[in-house]
Structure 1
Amino acid sequence: MSTVHPLRRRHRPAFESGSRTLSVVDLFAGCGGLTLGTAEAAHAHGFAIDVRLAVDFEDAAIRAYQANFPSAKTQVAAVEAIFDGDLGSKPSGSELSVARSVGTLDVLVGGPPCQGHSSLNNHTRRADPKNRFYLRMARAAEVLRPKVVLIENVPAVVHDSEGVVDRATKALNAAGYTVTNSILELVRLGVPQKRRRHVLLGIRTGLVGDDIDLGEVLAAGTQRSRDLRWAIGDLANQTSNSWVDTPSRPSAENSARMQWLIDNDEHDLPNRLRPPCHQGDHSYVSMYGRLKWKEPAQTITSGFGSLGQGRFMHPSLCRTLTPHEAARIQGFPDYFTFDAAVTRTELSVIIGNAVPPALAATLIARLIAADVFGEPDTSRPAPE
């Protein structure tokens, strides 16, 4: 019996149907990568998902989220305007209102903006106001009291000058959570790209027995490495009128650079063929580079359509990656729609900023298997 390739599935599972329900809130939600991963894990174990709230300040991202999770309650807003209280303080009026609306909660997930921590932002990453968004996840956990809180970010978040990971951990500990954190190599979770992410996982004390090791939950995956051919090999000659399958239009200079790489069977462009600003001694050899079929892709960013922003040239064709290919490399199946984007820039940002669903799918599946969500939660009193 043949198995459908996980990224080529065209029919969305009935995530809202199941014998039990898993309630979810997704903050800094983007198009819903963490929600999708949670939904996939839940569906595989007979749970329906109920998205009580998904928030992002980008309208385009929420449009995409709503298109893929039509029954979800979504909101275009700044998370810090909703969860506006200080860590450890009594809930504010805004916080009480959202807590009443959400009710009993199983899973809180979020990927706060990470540009302040990114290694591409060398000058400000350790002292950037965006870094404080990380603490809004801890505040939301204080207010909503989920069984599980999962915060995703770039590895460099641990070097933040304000110590946001340690501060979030202490706040969650004080709120009654057992917390652990780790850096995950997503290629070991079956993601076909060389992407590393920092994950903080908190579970309400009392929901985990002595037989569960949170370190094991965040341990490296066991899936074999997926290469680029596995992810997008069938899309090389895809023809479609949709811009999702249309690559960006390169300049004449970049077309010539890509043709040189193919004609010479090279993957790194020599200095003499690079723009002057990319010549000389540097460590950015991936810029203007060609991908390899037998390896995972480099980390997908919103610049996947630009030859000068990374190793984003197709392995065998004279073009950069299409949005469809970039979405596949991120781990989004074909049933996940990005039609809500109205400009190519929106499309690139939505896909490039997304969290690969496999991250949440792996971790939530492990927690379901450990029976963290096994019994209905009746311990949390209604907000006053």
Structure 2
Amino acid sequence: MNDRIPDIAAVDLFCGVGGLTHGLVRSGINVRAGVDLDPHCRYPFEANNSAPFLERDVNDLKADELKSYLSQGDYSLLAGCAPCQPFSTYSQSGRSKKRGLDWQLVLKFGSLVAELQPDLVTMENVAQLAQHSVFKDFLKCLDGYSVHYSVVECAKIGVPQSRKRLVLIASKLDNAGLSLDSQTAPPRTVRQEISKLPAIAAGEQHARDPLHTAPSLSEMNMRRIRASKPGGTWRDWEPELIAACHRKATGATYPSVYGRMEWDAPAPTITTQCFGFGNGRFGHPTQDRAISLREAAMLQTFPRNYKFLPKGEPVRFNRLGRLIGNAVPVRLGEAIGTVIMDHVRSVESGKPTEPSDRLF
């Protein structure tokens, strides 16, 4: 295969703190800008990636605002992950208006593709999106592109989580080599990802890493986590420890809360509430606390030194949990970028796409 590094200029819509961007950059793609309406994403995006952060609502974005960034390479890539809340299985009641607004962002992404006509497009989102009519409408915006999409089990590409995501890659250059099937890797475990971090207690913040902090636990929750075993559930506890809601028939079917992770297995899906012991199986495997924000970020495959806060800024669990939980895992972004780079190399060389072994 051609060894030349293709010059691909990308814009990352809905970039958040830069998970997808960081992965694309690691694969060799030149991300020229990230766009997001959340001002709290600016520092982590710009501190870790050599690209400007555009604080904009994508709904209000004009295609002309992106042309200068996409024209800075030999090829152009429009990438992004529109907010997935309307397709979440949680808190669906009373949300029809919000769901409609979020669906509109998926279609806005499609309209920008249709107007800008970049050489390449990639979209990452929740697996459920593929079953909704809005996804079919998005595909209509890709007229003239070769399109491949599938639901990817992230653990199979080296992300230490049980996390399924819809990944779409589209190209105007060729129709071959657009699948992530080649990007397999041995499963990574919680132990491999976070076991070397210093031990901390519930409510403690590590002196040299403010993000390595875990919220305090009530006396009852401390008793509960001490009674919990890795991979277990609240059903293992003595009756007096079980929450009243779980004693009811309606709560008995929800075992995946108040649990510890297992060292030698992938973590559960990291969510926006991953810092709370009672919010899922987010207890540390051996220490009596929930996982820290740094551990959550590392399970999302952010590098150990990824900066999320300016020096001296206080840690706010809800804000940082949201930013980390909503991020695209960096390793997934890198796998997507590697497929795109290999695809462009094959187009340039005139030879069929060959899987790259550079990433894994």
Quick one: which amino acid aligns to residue 211 of structure 2?
V
Corresponding residue for 1:54?
Answer: 34
Corresponding residue for 1:283?
Answer: 253
How big is the shift at 1:133?
Answer: 1.1
How big is the shift at 1:222?
Answer: 2.2
Corresponding residue for 1:141?
Answer: 113
4+ residue stretches of structure 1 with deviation over 6 A? 124-127
Q: Give the aligned CA root-mean-square deviation in angstroms.
A: 2.5
Contact 1:119 1:125 in 2 (8 A): no
CA change 1:126–1:19 in 2 (3 A) is same
Quick one: which amino acid aligns to residue 77 of structure 1?
R
Corresponding residue for 2:142?
Answer: 172
Out of 340, 347, 358, the position equivalent to 2:320 is 347
Worse overlay, 265-274 or 288-297 = 265-274
Q: Distance in 2 between matches of 1:76 and 1:125?
A: 26
Q: Distance in 2 between matches of 1:241 and 1:274?
A: 37
Unaligned ranges ≥5, structure 2: 201-205, 349-360
Quick one: which amino acid aligns to residue 255 of structure 1?
M
Q: Distance in 1 between matches of 2:5 and 2:170?
A: 26
CA change 1:218–1:121 in 2 (3 A) is farther
Corresponding residue for 1:250?
Answer: 217
Structure 1 position 72 matched with structure 2 position 51 = yes
The alignment of Structure 1 onto Structure 2 pairs a total of residues equal to: 329
Q: Deviations over 1:275-311 (max 9, x none)?
A: 2123334432111011111110000012111112110
Out of 222, 229, 239, the position equivalent to 2:191 is 229
Quick one: which amino acid aligns to residue 218 of structure 2?
S
SS of the equivalent of 1:371 reads: helix
Worse overlay, 118-127 or 247-256 = 118-127
SS of the equivalent of 1:362 reads: helix
Corresponding residue for 1:40?
Answer: 26
Quick one: which amino acid aligns to residue 285 of structure 2?
P
Corresponding residue for 2:9?
Answer: 23
Quick one: which amino acid aligns to residue 75 of structure 1?
L
Q: Deviations over 1:236-294 (max 9, x none)?
A: 526534331111111221111111125xx772112732321233344321110111111
Out of 43, 56, 69, the position equivalent to 1:63 is 43
Corresponding residue for 1:363?
Answer: 336
Alignment of 1:152-301 (within 5 A): 152-160=124-132, 163-173=133-143, 176-204=144-172, 207-208=173-174, 212-214=176-178, 217-219=179-181, 221-235=183-197, 237=199, 239-261=206-228, 267-270=232-235, 272=239, 273-281=241-249, 282-301=252-271
Q: Deviations over 1:30-69 (max 9, x none)?
A: 0111111111111xxxxxx543321111111122101112
Quick one: which amino acid aligns to residue 309 of structure 2?
D
Q: Deviations over 1:100-153 (max 9, x none)?
A: 454355221111111110122443788812122111221221233222111111
SS of the equivalent of 2:16 reads: coil
Contact 1:30 1:354 in 2 (8 A): yes
Contact 1:232 1:328 in 2 (8 A): yes
Unaligned ranges ≥5, structure 1: 1-17, 43-48, 83-93, 376-384
Quick one: which amino acid aligns to residue 182 of structure 1?
S
CA change 1:125–1:195 in 2 (3 A) is farther
Worse overlay, 339-348 or 51-60 = 339-348
SS of the equivalent of 1:188 reads: helix
TM (normalized to structure 2)? Answer: 0.84
Q: Deviations over 1:327-371 (max 9, x none)?
A: 110001113211247542222111111110111211221232233
SS of the equivalent of 1:179 reads: strand
Q: Distance in 2 between matches of 1:131 and 1:311?
A: 30
Q: Distance in 1 between matches of 2:6 and 2:168?
A: 26
Worse overlay, 289-298 or 343-352 = 343-352
SS of the equivalent of 1:219 reads: helix
How much identity, in percent, do the aligned residues show? 30
Q: Distance in 2 between matches of 1:316 and 1:110?
A: 37
Q: Distance in 2 between matches of 1:241 and 1:96?
A: 44
TM (normalized to structure 1)? Answer: 0.79
Out of 285, 299, 302, the position equivalent to 1:329 is 299
Contact 2:37 2:55 in 1 (8 A): yes
Quick one: which amino acid aligns to residue 268 of structure 1?
T
Contact 2:153 2:165 in 1 (8 A): yes
How big is the shift at 1:193?
Answer: 0.6
